[in-house]
Amino acid sequence: MSNNGIYQTPLASRYASEEMAQLFSNKTRFRTWRQLWVWLAKAEKQLGLPISDEAIAQMETHLDLTDEDFKVAAEEEKRRRHDVMAHVHTFGQVAPAAAGIIHWGGMFAGTAISIDTDIDILGNH
């Protein structure tokens, strides 16, 4: 059993409720990134970009990360030295039809997806 579903910090273990720790966990954060990439792909497809239905279906099938996804992402981050790009490539491995389009239009700022994720997490809970 992994600890990816619980936010890890001494402050969280002392002061955060279980629900709060789950809300800010890596599992929630990275699943939210994947959901944002699906929404982005769907919007881009509506605008006429060449994104296949298969790509979107594969992305939707793999929204929830497995323990193996976390291992792959950790290795990708060591190699790329960038958390978002590590997860882009990890997502592309489980959704190969989408590998070339994940994060299209989201590259304008490396921190944008993190900021959007924090806003989404806070706004939905």
- Domain membership flag for residue 114: yes
- Domain membership flag for residue 6: no
- Domain membership flag for residue 30: yes
Number of domains in the chain: 1
Backbone phi and psi for residue 62, each to the nearest 5 degrees, phi listed first: -115, 35
- The rounded Cα 55 to chain-centroid distance in angstroms is 16
- Asked if pLDDT for residue 113 goes beyond 80, the answer is no
- Domain membership flag for residue 55: yes
- Domain membership flag for residue 12: no
Q: Is 109 left (phi over 0), alpha (psi -120 to 50) or beta?
A: beta
Q: Is 81 left (phi over 0), alpha (psi -120 to 50) or beta?
A: left
User: Is this prediction's pTM over 0.85?
Assistant: no
Per-residue confidence (pLDDT) for residue 116, from 0 to 100: 63
Would you list the DSSP string of 32-75?
Answer: HHHHHHHHHHHHHHHTT----HHHHHHHHHT-SPPHHHHHHHHH
Q: How much is the mean pLDDT over the chain?
A: 85
Per-residue confidence (pLDDT) for residue 114, from 0 to 100: 62
Q: Smallest Cα–Cα separation from 40: which of 74, 70, 80, 84?
A: 84
Per-residue confidence (pLDDT) for residue 109, from 0 to 100: 44
- Domain membership flag for residue 20: no
- CATH of residue 43's domain is 1.10.275.10
Q: 9-68, pLDDT tens digit by residue?
A: 777 677 878 888 888 888 999 999 999 899 999 999 999 999 999 999 999 999 999 999
What is the Cα–Cα distance from 77 to 89, expressed in whole angstroms? 10
Per-residue confidence (pLDDT) for residue 125, from 0 to 100: 59
Residues of the domain holding 43 = 26-123
Please give the biggest Cα pair distance in the chain: 50
- Domain membership flag for residue 16: no
